Amino acid sequence: MAFEFTDDNFATTTEKGVHVVDFWAEWCGPCRLVGPVVEELATEYEGKATVGKVNVDHQPNVSMKYGIRSIPTILIIKDGEVVDQHVGTITKAALASKIDKQLQ
């Protein structure tokens, strides 16, 4: 199951390691397409990377901090720094490739 990032846990959670953060909302059609991909990758990368989600309607502070204006937006954060970003839908293979690049 995908990790739930919140305004309260985001900074401490993303300090060390690789984190994949899906910014989404319940009303967003493309977000519903990306959701299952994020869930599958959360299971597949367990113990290697934290794969999770931020509901932009419920967690406005972290969304504003990263300037999220379009959803879905996926950030890949390594040791507290954004190292990759993707806006819009993405295939599982393409996202896995982005994660693998950061785990090397």
Query: Of 2, 21, 31, 41, which one is the catalytic site residue?
Result: 31
- Residue 14 is a catalytic residue: no
Q: Is 92 a catalytic residue?
A: no
Contact 24, 34 (CB under 8 A): yes
- How wide is the angle at C-alpha 41 spanned by C-alphas 40 and 47, nearest 5°? 120
As a whole number of angstroms, the distance between CA 10 and CA 77 comes to: 11
Per the residue annotation, which of 7, 17, 25, 28 is the catalytic one? 28
- Residues with a known catalytic role: 28, 31
